[in-house]
Structure 1
Amino acid sequence: MATTTVATAAPASAGKPWYKILYVQVLIAIVLGALVGAFWPSLATNEWIKALGDGFIKLIKMVIAPIIFCTVVSGIAHIQDAKKVGRIGVKALVYFEVVSTFALVLGLLVGNLVRPGAGFGNAAANAQAVAGYAKQAEAQKSVDFVLHIIPDTVVGAFAQGEILQVLLFSVLFGFALMGLGERGHTIRSFIDDAAHAVFGVISIVMRAAPIGAFGAMAFTIGKFGTGAILNLMGLIATFYLTAALFVLVVLGFIARTAGFSIFKFLAYIKDELLIVLGTSSSESALPSLMEKLERLGCSKSVVGLVVPTGYSFNLDGTNIYMTLATLFIAQALGFDLSFGQQLTILIVAMLTSKGASGITGAGFITLAATLAVVDPRLVPGMAIVLGIDKFMSECRALTNLCGNGVACVIVAWWEGELDRDKLNANLARQIDPTDLETALTTD
């Protein structure tokens, strides 16, 4: 049986020149992209520059479905007790809801204390600019969301890259394979080997991360300009500081409870954080995050169930954004929301943050859905933050990535599926994800 083990060699970055280390390359690419966007905007907005970032994200999305399928099926098929799968899922969902509530409450508290939208001045909004987002938000009803989890065809789920649909089929296939017992040994071995091969593809694709980060950052700065940031610097700064507070304090406390340092964990996934920063997409780091969490000591079954599910149900950054942005818009438009309305924001945001998962611009769409329920008069105010949403989405993606990484470790610890020796060993060193193949061995 193929298993994933941690390489006993020295840290991957130890014997490399600094310029060959992935996170250094990505960091340099982000800086260069920002400079090109600021000083040569006409060049930065060229469609070929934009294609660099879009192309890298497409390369990553290309392998997300097979990664989820192989990981989930392999994790379930190797479990002898079917009840364990359901137990892991319930624990993950309980954790998601508790921590998501903390994120929502934190956004409300900071919004009320700092009041970034107060005294905004002329806040006349263009309703037409956000009409498309509002229309998409209206379409995201609870029933539609549940039905959307069920794919029309299995092939269609993989072709369209729908994470929840692929996850549903993978769970069902894993249970079916578990039921075959020894007769399913050949298929299980094939899926295990296929997972190693797909992670090999990831290790190749990740070498293009600096190019993708350069293109995405250059186009963003070139198109929106640095002025877009300066206009609403207060909201952006408040959001980034609130997200940092959530990661360092809330997630830090949770991590400490489980016996590890949030700072060491962030250092361990720094490559993924920089890739997300450059591409503004948490999906771009999903495959390598799953591989790193396995090497960190989380069992394959926990990683396969918690991480993909978390990408739809554990959006901590999006939750903070929704409550904070809702209060900002209300303050900017001169609306004084009552305690009851703010409580409505909390309840509605818990639902809308799940309903728009997997949709382009999901954070902005969920904001539209939340505003429409709290007070329809607030929806046109979305135009105030439309220009800076691109910069806000980076922070949302970074926070979501941190939240899902910590969630996987916590659920593994809660389930008794966390290898403490691997956890301590890996957090004490640096590993380059371009060397994923050196950490994979078969016995």
Structure 2
Amino acid sequence: MKSKNITHNLTFWVLLSILIGVLVGHFAPSLALYPVFESKISYSLLGADLAFGPTLSEVFSGIFISLVKLFIHPIIFLTISLGIVNMGNLKKVGRVGGKALLYFEVVTTVALLIGLLVSNVLTPGEGVIRSDVAGGDISKYTSKAASFSWILFLKENFTIQVLGFSLFFGTFLNFVRGKAKMVSGMHQASDWVFKALHAIMYLAPLGALGGMAYTIGKFGIHSLLPLAKLMVSVYATMAIFIFVVLGLIMRNCGERIGKFLSYIKEELLIVLGTSSSEAALPSLMLKLEKMGCSKSVVGLVVPAGYSFNLDGTSIYLSMATLFLAQVYGIQLNWEQLLTIIGVLMVTSKGAAGVTGSGFVVLASTLTALQVIPLEGLALLLGVDRFMSEARAITNFIGNGVATVWLAKHEGEFNPPVTD
């Protein structure tokens, strides 16, 4: 049997790039933060908000993430529309969509409860001296939180708009006579998009190197010490959620979580290096189809899960809220805890579409509670970047598990035949 050269494996290069990024950020922060531009560059193209910062490392990671973002909306449109057409039965589309939304709500609520439970047991906020770590600029988060509304969210979230249009267009195609040529063209376009994406993924090591170099170079390992307990608590909670809750869900449908994580290891490393689940989302869809999930289920569940099945964000939001309450010595009663759960069950669903992601949603949650001072957000500014990896990875794994579970229970799972 011919052995595969490890240097031909993308996983090897992504992992090596993460290591190099950590070393550059720690030992040569001036190189990692070398100013290439005077300010952050942001622009929109094909409905994707593209941006890369002024530093050399941000340019590296920003170019890769921005290129991948260009593919997300076309992939969502093509996979959802074709998924509905391929199902053929609109009742089946409604059943799968309804099951997916119910699954998302149940599992994210479990994630919220686990976050609150662990925070109450470990109390990571006790003993944190506010004057040692506060002082960040939170105005951009609090101003957005004050103006947050679902109407604004739906208006500004292009991903949700594409999702809605794709559902409409796919349904419309079912009533079109002579649709074969149109569907064939869409299949061909889908093949081209994924082939182009496959080529872009060779830049993943560049994105991982830049992301890690910027994080370590800007904040440094020493800056984490005051908030180390919170970081350890968040990572431990997400590990419990992945291996216990998601593990039980996978076992329920005859799969093993360890085997699944090994199967998507390349994508997990990309998410780790870039702190963005977007960076590997299209690749996850391909992997799930190769695993045996039907194209129609993947096309419906993964894009919807990107906005509504944010397990990692749910855990982080609940733990961060209780952390700040503990920092300020605020004793929350059961009524307030239930209010936190209720508010987060709604606001956490908007995290993927809001600039600043979970951090802005956390600000909007604190605004709704009117119990914990918004100034406490300054405590989390430095460490938030380090916890974003855990959020992104947990969200990513959660969407993969949701797709496998729904495909299995819908009889839409056909594993490849091996000799």
Q: Which residue of 2 aligns with 1:140?
A: 148
Higher relative contact order (CA 8 A, sep 6+): 1
Q: Which residue of 1 aligns with 2:227?
A: 232
**What letter corresponds to residue 271 of structure 1 in structure 2?**
E
- From 384, 395, 408, the equivalent of 1:400 is 395
| Cα deviation 1:90-109 (Å, max 9, x = unaligned) | 00000000000110000000
Q: Which residue of 1 aligns with 2:73?
A: 65
- Structure 1 residue 124: Cα displacement: 7.8
| Alignment check: 8 A CA contact 2:348 2:361 kept | yes
Within 2, Cα distance between the matches of 1:380 and 1:265?
Answer: 41
Within 1, Cα distance between the matches of 2:356 and 2:154?
Answer: 20
- From 174, 179, 198, the equivalent of 1:178 is 174
Q: Which residue of 2 aligns with 1:156?
A: none
List aligned pairs for 1:42-441, cutoff 5 A.
42-46=30-34, 47-122=55-130, 129-148=137-156, 162-181=158-177, 183-419=178-414, 421-422=415-416
| Alignment check: 8 A CA contact 1:345 1:374 kept | yes
Within 1, Cα distance between the matches of 2:69 and 2:311?
Answer: 22
| Alignment check: 8 A CA contact 1:140 1:355 kept | no
Q: 1:218 to 1:124 in 2, by over 3 A?
A: closer
Q: TM-score, normalised by structure 2?
A: 0.91
> Secondary structure of 2:84's partner?
helix
- Structure 1 residue 376: Cα displacement: 4.5
| Cα deviation 1:146-170 (Å, max 9, x = unaligned) | 4556xxxxxxxxxxxx221111111
- Structure 1 residue 131: Cα displacement: 2.2
**What letter corresponds to residue 211 of structure 1 in structure 2?**
L
> Secondary structure of 1:129's partner?
coil
> Secondary structure of 1:78's partner?
helix
**What letter corresponds to residue 395 of structure 1 in structure 2?**
A
**What letter corresponds to residue 374 of structure 1 in structure 2?**
L
Q: 1:258 to 1:120 in 2, by over 3 A?
A: same
| Alignment check: 8 A CA contact 1:123 1:384 kept | no
Q: Which residue of 2 aligns with 1:437?
A: none
> Secondary structure of 1:388's partner?
helix
- Structure 1 residue 48: Cα displacement: 2.7
Instruction: Tell me the C-alpha RMSD between the 2 structures.
Output: 1.8
- Structure 1 residue 176: Cα displacement: 1.4
Q: Does 1:21 pair with 2:9?
A: yes
| Cα deviation 1:131-155 (Å, max 9, x = unaligned) | 2112212222233334556xxxxxx
Within 2, Cα distance between the matches of 1:212 and 1:308?
Answer: 23
Within 1, Cα distance between the matches of 2:193 and 2:3?
Answer: 26
| Alignment check: 8 A CA contact 2:24 2:213 kept | yes
Q: 1:82 to 1:320 in 2, by over 3 A?
A: same
Q: 1:390 to 1:25 in 2, by over 3 A?
A: same
| Cα deviation 1:264-320 (Å, max 9, x = unaligned) | 000111111100000000000011001111111111111111101101100000000
Within 2, Cα distance between the matches of 1:284 and 1:336?
Answer: 39
| Alignment check: 8 A CA contact 1:38 1:225 kept | yes
**What letter corresponds to residue 165 of structure 1 in structure 2?**
Q
Q: Which residue of 2 aligns with 1:436?
A: none
The total of aligned residue pairs comes to 399
| Alignment check: 8 A CA contact 2:153 2:354 kept | no
| Alignment check: 8 A CA contact 2:330 2:372 kept | no
| Alignment check: 8 A CA contact 1:107 1:320 kept | yes
**Structure 1 stretch displaced more, 134-143 or 203-212:** 134-143
> Secondary structure of 2:413's partner?
coil
Q: Taking every aligned residue pair, what percent have the same amino acid on both sides?
A: 49
